[in-house]
């Protein structure tokens, strides 16, 4: 944990001279936020079929794309195991929409910032254009949030991890 904290602080001060430093951005009016290496610009907002609010954004820095899909659930899912299953179903849906051709398989059992009131999954994907993806999904029963990074070049695992672990949920 200390190593992560030190790494995170180093990244906060600037990854290198020509790269935009890490900066916290609100994910629209969802109440969620995350630290990005680039300005995600305008957050798109839409309604899902069940009338949940869906906030999306993406930006690019140093050949790496960073994005979030934040779903503020209309109806809270009180059982976290069920919420995790809904999260996985959503990630399966996303695989189809972004033309994923390969996946490593979901790594389960993660907790956002060691908070037992959350569930998280991690996966690695490859799309039809051979871009490498790292995806994390988080839920607390009130939100389902997917953070992803992808690149046609080598995926920068360190920067992807910092971004994906920076999610802040308002309910925690």
Q: What is the pLDDT of residues 140-171, one digit of tens each?
A: 999 999 999 999 999 999 999 999 999 999 97
Task: Look at residue 148 in the predicted model and tell me its pLDDT.
Answer: 98
Give, as one character, the DSSP assignment of residue 168: B
Give the tokens for residue 150. 């992808």
Q: What is the pLDDT of residues 65-117, one digit of tens each?
A: 999 999 999 999 999 999 999 999 999 999 999 999 999 999 999 999 999 99
H or E stretch covering 125 = strand 119-127
Q: What is the pTM of this model?
A: 0.86
**Distance between CA 79 and CA 56 in Å, rounded?**
25
Greatest alpha-carbon span in the chain: 45
Is 90 exceeded by the pLDDT of residue 53? yes
Using CA atoms, how far residue 137 sits from 69, 148, 149, 159, in Å, is: 9, 9, 12, 17
Task: Look at residue 162 in the predicted model and tell me its pLDDT.
Answer: 96
| Residues 77-104 as b or e (16 or more Cβ within 10 Å = b) | beebeebbebbbebbeebbeeeebeeee
**Distance between CA 108 and CA 110 in Å, rounded?**
6
Task: Look at residue 21 in the predicted model and tell me its pLDDT.
Answer: 85
């Amino acid at each position: 944990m200390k190593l992560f904290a030190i790494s995170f602080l180093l990244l906060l001060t600037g990854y290198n001279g020509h790269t935009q430093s890490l900066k916290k951005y609100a994910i629209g009016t969802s109440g969620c936020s995350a630290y990005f290496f680039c300005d995600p610009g305008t957050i798109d907002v839409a309604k899902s079929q069940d009338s949940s609010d869906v906030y999306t954004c993406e930006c690019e820095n140093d050949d790496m794309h960073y994005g979030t899909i934040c779903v503020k659930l209309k109806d809270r899912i009180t059982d976290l195991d069920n919420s995790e299953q809904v999260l996985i179903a959503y990630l399966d849906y996303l695989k189809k929409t972004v033309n994923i051709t390969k996946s490593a398989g979901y790594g389960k059992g993660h907790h956002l910032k060691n908070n037992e009131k959350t569930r998280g999954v991690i996966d690695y994907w490859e799309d039809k254009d051979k871009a490498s993806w790292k995806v994390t999904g988080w839920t607390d029963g009130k939100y389902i949030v997917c953070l992803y990074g992808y690149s046609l070049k080598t995926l920068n695992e360190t920067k992807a991890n910092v971004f994906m672990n920076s999610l802040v949920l308002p309910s925690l």
